Amino acid sequence: DVKVTQSSRYLVKRTGEKVFLECVQDMDHENMFWYRQDPGLGLRLIYFSYDVKMKEKGDIPEGYSVSREKKERFSLILESASTNQTSMYLCASSPDVTDTQYFGPGTRLTVL
């Protein structure tokens, strides 16, 4: 089975802090994705990566950056956290960019 893990289930940070969310997959997938999920809005794509050191903006990249130094790891970075970034963050991976995506358990981030 595909396993996608995220570094924290719950995280509380203060406004202005730099926040790192880590995602690791163990299936040698080429593609990895970061979404945020908010009530009434469904899941929205922030960034995705189709190869090491490659990244593409999704629908809502503002306020976020990403890093993919190794194939199995994809990090989401909030350079200066703001209260409107309080959300559930979901990481996913897929073997091919057009293939089924497998999700991690999510990180619920609260920015105070």
Partner 1 sequence: DAKTTQPPSMDCAEGRAANLPCNHSTISGNEYVYWYRQIHSQGPQYIIHGLKNNETNEMASLIITEDRKSSTLILPHATLRDTAVYYCIVRTGNQFYFGTGTSLTVIP
User: In the complex, what is the shortest distance from the CB of residue 39 to partner 1, in angstroms, rounded to a whole number?
Assistant: 9
Q: Is 18 in contact with 32 (CB distance < 8 Å)?
A: no
Residues at the site binding partner 1, with contacts judged by CB under 8 A: 4, 31, 35, 37, 40-45, 48, 50, 58, 90, 92, 97-98, 100-106, 108
In sequence order, which residues have a C-beta less than 8 Å from that of residue 51 and are 6 or more positions away?
30, 68
Residue (34 or 82) nearer to partner 1, CB: 34
Q: What is the DSSP letter of 52?
A: T
Compute the distance between CA of residue 43 and CA of residue 89 in angstroms, rounded to an integer: 9
Instruction: Compute the least distance from the CB of residue 104 to partner 1, in Å.
Output: 5
Closer to partner 1 by CB, 64 or 102: give it. 102
Report the nearest approach of partner 1 to the CB of residue 94 (Å): 8
What is the three-class DSSP state of 19? strand
